[in-house]
A and B are shown apart, each in its own frame.
Chain A
């Protein structure tokens, strides 16, 4: 029960935030991201926010997927180049195809567009949990973008079959 401390604190902070914001991963991300500032002049720069983030409770084995949407309201493209977590030893980006999945090194976040990580498509693969996840936990994910830098989000662990927009 020792190594769980870091995760616990993270989970707690996340829970408080999530409660305060009523399940708005969107707002959490905004707060953590502190965009608008970021890169170059306000007009054209990438302006990122993260929404609808969740981790379906992984079946036994701890191999989990993470899903989220990165919106870019700015006028410059950005790209997600790295994802890490203080609560998991490995977070990688993958794309599911019709019959397999392949690791990807970076994912585009187009200007005035969005990067969507969704079931059956591009997703995060999360391994090496410090503490076996349980429903309601939150895992911090640090998303690093070429232009914007790192945005940290607290991602809730939902039911295995959860989809955004449903209970």
Chain B
């Protein structure tokens, strides 16, 4: 089915699906607040009594059961390694020029503002949606530009897609363009899992400002309830 993504129309459709998905997610998030409804702007708003600036999720996704390879080439079990720890999860690929480095870079900036104690409690995990090109070495070199302690995972794309799907994140097979570049379709939201229950409680849509991450990361590090 992902083969069809090669045609522009299918790509556009996929984009539309993603928009719909993002909207659906935002709606899910809104469900938690259950407060007075209003225009579309309100839909993405977080629970008004939440200490977080990110979008507070109404549905608390489980941390995916995902076994891949980390940047040192070792097997990495996401649930096992990050269990009981604050975890930020993002799916993307290293030959992505715009959204991926922007998002990961902004998280890197916010992470550097934490105290060493806080930082030590947070795992930032980047899962590749283009594992064929994103080898452990490639991932490490790329992530080091944003955070030398960022965790990079790569491996079986089918597993990655399944894990992402369970989180409401759409991923398609990477497409090689006529000029040799690769485009990967991937939901670009960041999910934050709290240490208390290892479930996702806060969502950061693509385009989230760095000051939002700076505001929320200390809270996430301390495991403050959303």
Contact = CB atoms under 8 A, between A and B. Distances in A.
Contact of A103 (B12, B19, B177, B207): B177
B179 A90 contact: yes
Given A59-B146, A61-B138, A160-B146, A98 B98 contact: no
B145 A160 contact: yes
Interface string B183-207: 1111110000000000000000011
B163 to A, nearest CB: 16
A87 interface: no
A97 B18 contact: yes
Contacts of A57: 145
Contact of B22 (A58, A63, A98, A100): A98
Contact residues on A (Cβ < 8 Å of other chain), bracket = 20 to 34
Contacts of B97: 58, 63-65, 94, 123, 125-126
Contacts of A101: 96, 98-99, 183
Interface in B128-163: 138, 141-146
Interface size on B, as a range, is 35 or more
B218 interface: no
A127 B210 CA distance: 26
A65 B95 CA distance: 11
A101 B21 CA distance: 16
Contact of A127 (B15, B181, B188): B181
A101 B143 CA distance: 21
A119 B102 contact: yes
A4 interface: no
B108 interface: yes
A123 B99 CA distance: 10
9 contacts: A56-B105, A61-B94, A65-B101, A100-B14, A101-B183, A102-B8, A119-B207, A120-B206, A126-B97
Given A96-B98, A120-B207, A163-B210, 11 more contacts: A59-B142, A59-B144, A59-B145, A65-B101, A98-B188, A99-B18, A99-B170, A100-B172, A102-B183, A160-B108, A161-B106
Interface of A: 56-61, 63-65, 90, 92, 94, 96-103, 119-120, 123, 125-127, 160-161, 163
Interface of B: 8, 11-12, 14-15, 18-19, 21-22, 94-99, 101-102, 105-106, 108-109, 138, 141-146, 170, 172, 177, 179, 181, 183-188, 206-207, 210
10 pairs of A and B residues whose beta carbons are closest in the complex? A99-B18, A59-B145, A60-B141, A100-B185, A65-B97, A161-B105, A97-B15, A98-B18, A160-B105, A120-B207
